């Protein structure tokens, strides 16, 4: 979870990592995939439009803003 995908990507790239995909818009905000300097893939999520609502089993049932 990050407050800003743009700022997070800047920090990862400045530290020797790389942007892999995105940023992309999703119902709850934005998402981006990056690699750290060691090649590990990470998915960074910005919840700028709310969060997913789930039922007791963990299935997504909607978006709460």
pLDDT of residue 46: 96
Q: Where are the domains of the chain?
A: 5-64
Q: Is the CATH number of domain 5-64 3.10.180.10?
A: yes
* pTM score over 0.85: no
Q: How far is CA 52 from CA 45, 62, 65, in A?
A: 12, 6, 9
Question: CA–CA separation, 32 vs 62, rounded Å?
Answer: 21
- Percent helix, strand and coil across the chain, each rounded to 5? 15, 50, 35
pLDDT of residue 4: 96
The residue with tokens 């940023």 is: 23
Give residue-wise pLDDT tens across range 12-64. Answer: 999 999 999 999 999 999 999 999 999 999 999 999 999 899 999 999 999 99
């Amino acid at each position: 979870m990050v407050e800003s995908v743009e700022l997070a990507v800047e920090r990862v790239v400045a530290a020797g990592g790389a942007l892999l995909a995105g940023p992309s818009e999703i119902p709850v905000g934005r998402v981006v995939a990056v690699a750290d300097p060691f090649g590990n893939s990470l998915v960074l999520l910005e919840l700028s439009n709310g969060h997913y609502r789930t039922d007791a089993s963990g299935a997504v049932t909607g978006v709460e803003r």
